[in-house]
Amino acid sequence: MQINTLQPQTVSLKLNLPEQTAAAATGTASNNNTMPGAYVSLSELGKTKAKQAEQNKDIDDSNLPDTIKQILKTIRDLKQQIADKQAEIDKAKQDGQQSEQQREKLKLLQTELSMLNSALGSAQQSLNKAMQQQDLSDEQIQTALSLML
């Protein structure tokens, strides 16, 4: 096959979109006409990222340097992971008689919680160091501390 680049060629694309009734689109049941529609769905990762972006909007909107914003987001994420892990531990402890396997799982969860707490401490130290190096105003320091809580 040879392609002639001097002659313009037309290409038609046909989109295979699911049909959507006009009634469903407008919320009325009186019209039976159909119209093409597109269905968009976010992956779980996309939903998680969108949720995190919304949760960190206050940090993003602050007048803090980007490095401090990133550390604050990390601290917030670690705090959430710690809360989730603690809830998982509490649930594991509620099971009455524990088998050897359940005790091992509980031990593992407690080790993970300890690691998360250690990471949180390191992140808080990094924040303190970054705040000292950035020469922040009193207002920025107050903002950073309130966002850390």
pLDDT above 70 coverage of the chain, percent: 74
Is 16 inside any structural domain?
no
Domain that holds residue 102: 56-148
> Can you tell me the distance from the alpha carbon of 127 to that of 73, in angstroms, rounded to the nearest whole number?
11
Is 7 inside any structural domain?
no
Three-state DSSP class for residue 36 = strand
Per residue in 4-62, pLDDT tens? 555 555 555 555 555 555 555 555 554 555 556 676 777 888 777 777 778 899 999 99
Three-state DSSP class for residue 121 = helix
Asked whether 82 and 120 are in contact (CB, 8 A), the reply is: yes
Is 130 inside any structural domain?
yes
Is 45 inside any structural domain?
no
Is 113 inside any structural domain?
yes
Is 38 inside any structural domain?
no
Q: How many domains does the chain have?
A: 1
pLDDT value of position 92: 87
Is 14 inside any structural domain?
no
CA distance to 21, 74, 86, 101, 134, per residue, from 80 (Å): 43, 10, 10, 26, 27
> Can you tell me the distance from the alpha carbon of 83 to that of 90, in angstroms, rounded to the nearest whole number?
10
As given in the structure block, the two tokens for residue 144 are 């950073």
Is 48 inside any structural domain?
no
**In which band, very low, low, confident or very high, does the pLDDT at 87 lie, cut at 50, 70 and 90?**
very high
As given in the structure block, the two tokens for residue 99 are 């088998």
